Amino acid sequence: MIFILKAGIYTAMNRMKQIIRAIIISIVIFLIGVTGYMVIEKWNFLDSAYMTAITLTTVGLMEVHEISPTGRIFTIFMIFAGAGYFLYIAGVIIQSIVEGELQTLLGRRRLDKKINKLKNHYIVCGYGRIGRVLCHLIKEETNDLVVIENDDALVGVLEKDKMDYLHGDASDEELLVKAGIQTASFLVTALGTDIANVFLVLTARQLNADIYIMARASSPDVRGKLMAAGANMVESPYDTGAVSMGLKLLRPSVSNFLDIALSRKVEAIQIEEIFVPKSSRYTHVALKDSGIRQDFNLIIISIKKSSGEMLFNPHFETLIEPLDTVIVMGKMPDLRSFAKAINPEQE
């Protein structure tokens, strides 16, 4: 993407130079014509400018005055100069069009190659208000993200946000395959209608039986249909927004704490989940002996067992076991240090 951006800047600068060069050439040719008629034919400035204009543009109007043999030779020179200039302008225009289309084609090919190399990535279908916010959150964690959007008006927004995207119908099997759905780990359906989301979930589940699908639901009635279609999780932005507003109204201090804990600011307190691999040195270690609190200044809120059981506020004698997910709270630098310590092989 950086290469494409640099190439685009270079192309724009090159076009600007060509435009400036064309303007300078036109002014020089016009001044030569005016000066030539004033010197050769002894005409005034207005008559000379008029004769130069009709000669360069080859419009075929009558001469201003009777012209001398020397003036005719000069006029022939001006006609060829005008024709050559307009051919040059036509060449500049054609070159700009071809370069623009070629640049777009090359940029699209590079983007397609990049998408083809992605593994265990995220696919977000729909770049509306919800999809855009979600994509920016994902981009803060990883660049392994592909957006599929069908609205022509949002293509410019995607390019402005520097998102890797495919333009087309998200329910198109060929487009989903092109987005790498068979090697992706997560799919988010954030299309505008429930019908479109249900059909997309059905199509995606057929293409990849193991992918984790989060679906958007506009109404509670469609939640069951999305789950039956193959969604792992169904979220309603309206319900979530209503709960958030209610929490801010009824529990403002709690809401304020959660806003801070879930923010993406480096210095803010944040809640994070960290997976415990089998090879981690923290496996089969009790919380009291792990040193997590002392070494990393973190608070363990919960431990999610591999079975799905959630242990809230775990006892200090609770063992950390392989494949657990530890939910901790603290500052981002401390969270990163702990994540590296619990899984040194993770990039």
What local confidence, expressed as pLDDT, does residue 346 receive?
Answer: 62
Report whether pLDDT(335) > 60.
yes
Every domain range in the chain assigned CATH 3.30.70.1450: 265-342
Residue 302, token pair as written in the block: 């919960």
Higher-confidence position of 182 and 238? 182
Q: What is the pLDDT of residues 275-310, one digit of tens each?
A: 999 889 899 999 989 988 889 999 899 999 988 889
CA distance 214 to 303: 23
CA Rg, the chain, in Å?
Answer: 33
Confidence of residue 15 (pLDDT cuts 50, 70, 90): low
Question: 166: buried, middle or exposed (CB in 10 Å: 19+, 13-18, 0-12)?
Answer: buried
Contact 303, 328 (CB under 8 A): no
CATH of 122-241, one of 3.40.50.720, 3.30.750.24, 3.50.30.30, 3.40.309.10: 3.40.50.720
Given this structure, which CATH class describes domain 2-116? mainly alpha
The DSSP string of 115-147 is HHT--S-EEEE--SHHHHHHHHHHHTT-S-EEE
Say whether pLDDT at 209 is over 80: yes
Q: What is the location of CATH 1.10.287.70 in the chain?
A: 2-116
d(CA 347, CA 337): 12
What amino acid is encoded at 216 in this protein? R
Summarize the confidence of residues 92-117 as an average pLDDT.
Answer: 65
- The CATH fold assigned to 265-342 is Alpha-Beta Plaits (3.30.70)
Residues in Cβ contact with 5 at an 8 Å cutoff, skipping those fewer than 6 apart? none
Domain span(s) for CATH 3.40.50.720 in the chain: 122-241
